[in-house]
Chain A
Amino acid sequence: MLEQQNTLINLLKEQVDKNQEFLYGHDDQLDSSVQENEDLVNHLVSDIKSIDSIDFQKIEKLIRSFTFDDDETIDTMINEMSLIKEIITMNVEENTTVELESDELEAFDLFLNKVNEVINIQKEERASLQKRRDIVLNVTNKYVDLITMLTDPNNTSIIKDSSTLHLLFTKRKVEEKVKQRILVDLMKYNHEIFERQLKNIGIDEFNSSEVLMKNDVLQLFEKYGYQFSLLDMAVQNDILKYGRLSRMEIIFQALSENNFSKIDEVSKGKILFALLVNSSKEIIDNNTKLALEKGLQPDDLLQISNSLIKQSIYMKKEVEMFFSYVGSDSEHDLGFSYGDDNLLSFIKGAADDFSKNIALLESKGLMISVVFDKCKQLLVLSHELLRNNLSLFEKYGFSLMEKNAVVRPALTALMALNFADIADQFIEIHPLGIYYLRDNLSNLRSNVNPLDILFYNIYQASRVQVDADGKLVAAGPFVEVSDYHIVKLQLKGEITRFSKKYKYLPYCGITDLNKMEVTNTICPVFDNQVEYDSIMKNVVSFEIDDSIFEHDYIKAINSYSDQNEPLAYNFSGIRISKLKVLRVFDTLLKNRIAPSIDSFMFAVTYHTIINQEDYDRLAMIIRGCLQGGMA
């Protein structure tokens, strides 16, 4: 471990602790106060006699927090409420039937109104705190990610999140000298990772044993019908730097033996470079043979050229990009680039993924030549991602076929980076959402963020709105369109994108910055939010244990299954994705989170776009279910 690595880890831990103090401290206090006041109002509204059992000091304290023009009104209200309590207590204890006078009832109503005012103010405070909390939570997660990387001896990822580091230095008021020392050490750390990556793929020799002579390389290229000088100058330099004559000769031979056409030096020079540096005869032989068996031609593989490349490596660009941060005050993330026209900075190997994906897709009855024709990228997609997505595809009941043919949107959907969250959001956001998704499966791939503006637009369009004459109108986000006599749902143009037709104006004024305010929605807060978020962020598998179906909490809400849509619960009009609740709750339990109303509500409302009123209603129903179910 480098000298300054510990200093950085300690700084990160200190800031995480500080942030967690903030995240936990305020919310508990404010939440319990809001809850207490709401309980008080609920009790008094349902039965005025309950004042008998309420500690008057609590009432007096509450009245003293009310806003009145003068102190006298406060004293008057305290006296009136005291009198009301005395009368009711007397009635209860001595079985008398003294009735409250109309002015006493008025005073009581005023008291309730004032308590509601306090509750509303507290809720606003809570919402504002919540916004701040979201920001802190997000950055805390980034700090935790850095700690995880820095403390993992097997880490192979380059530290590239310079904007988070910059924020940490500012928050911890790190002296310039210390900051520079840490950054220099981080450069060394990144260099070590880079060297480790090169070593892992066996091309570390370029540093020591072999210095390529340009003439030798020229001759080798000529021997196989290539002109080295036609390559981009940066590619030429990289070949001289990273290439090895013996390895390159083997690759040229393997390409020739497997009947690959000549790779164009000008337009495909980078593909040639990546193969020469990071492929092998074994991979070219095996994967070309496999491709031929599945009806593909060798040259087809050059369209997904990383099917012939072993492992992923970062070339030098990322490390250099990080260096450029040193001494810079820019808050821009300068840490990462995928490459440019002249220089290849990142080689993504997918040889293993290619063979595994073919086996998996065939096991689902798909013809590989058809998959290549319609969505060739699937063949080199991360195998884990494809496996997860195929499993989810089945769980959500989607079909890869339409009229007995494999359809491109379905294959596209398998490339989704956030399949489950997006499917859940469509299920919850509108009763027709799941039907729209089935008609437009590629949406699973084209949307990554379940809290994207698109979903707030749909949410807003689903609300009943009032027109200029005060008439109620249901806007509705969908339209029906006909595609070869098949009627399909589409989203209205004004909802999906900013287009010229709609004068590039955001729908209903909704932007990323104001989406919650405009739609009047909230982001619920939970006691153990940091742990829950961290678990959900790091989850890699979406396998749901069968045992979760038998969990008391899940059984307790079974009666709320939507009658029309088997994938959803319907809590008095609030749709919640069933698979989401199962997946999230199961994941929390697997990560040693205790089942509680807090953790269950987190699972139920995970990424749900909801307003305060609906949330309160949902929480009340869920509490009722759990308390009833547990009794």
Chain B
Amino acid sequence: MEFLKELGFNDLVLHRIINSNDDSVIYNFIMDCDNVRDVINYFREIGIEVIDELLVRRLEVFSIDISKLKKQFDKYNVGVLVSLINEDISAINFL
């Protein structure tokens, strides 16, 4: 998962990801690293501040196809949804 380091995530986050996820989920996450990069960049763009926590606790979200994910966000007031996610990552379930 070295590509995450290039995106600014530290070893601690990587360790937490490994300890919090099934091997299969991690494997497919790595295999899908291009989409993961796009999702992380999109999340940063719209103001999500809890990307670390989402990576550790909801890794599968980063494997949602980026164009699908953007469409899902667009169904809501993005600012409000982002603010809810920043308060409680469970709000990602609105998608």
Contact = CB atoms under 8 A, between A and B. Distances in A.
A503 interface: no
Contacts of A497: 50, 53, 86-89
Given A442-B93, A499-B50, A270 B86 contact: no
A412 B58 contact: yes
B19 interface: yes
A338 B26 contact: yes
Interface of B: 1-3, 6, 11, 15, 18-28, 30-34, 49-50, 53, 57-58, 60, 63, 83, 86-95
A510 interface: no
Contacts of B63: 303, 376-377
A341 interface: yes
24 contacts: A304-B28, A306-B27, A306-B31, A333-B15, A338-B27, A340-B3, A346-B23, A375-B60, A376-B63, A377-B63, A385-B22, A408-B93, A442-B90, A442-B93, A446-B58, A446-B89, A492-B87, A493-B86, A493-B88, A496-B90, A497-B89, A499-B49, A499-B86, A500-B49
A126 interface: no
A578 B94 CA distance: 32
B7 to A, nearest CB: 11
A336 interface: yes
Contacts, number: 124
- Assign chain A's interface to a size class: 35 or more
Most buried by A among B18, B27, B90: B27
Contacts of A501: 83, 86-87
A54 interface: no
A342 B24 CA distance: 19
Interface in A325-378: 332-333, 336-342, 344, 346-348, 350, 353, 375-377
Contacts of A376: 63
Contacts of A385: 22
Contacts of B1: 337-340
Given A306-B27, A348-B27, A445 B86 contact: no
Contact of A500 (B22, B28, B86, B91): B86
A521 to B, nearest CB: 23
A312 B86 contact: no
Given A497-B50, A499-B49, A490 B28 contact: no
A271 B31 contact: yes
Contact of B93 (A339, A348, A440, A492): A440
Interface string A446-464: 1110000000000000000
A89 interface: no
Contacts of A415: 22, 25, 60
A144 interface: no
A303 B66 CA distance: 13
Nearest to B17: A338
B57 A445 contact: yes
Contacts of A348: 23-24, 26-27
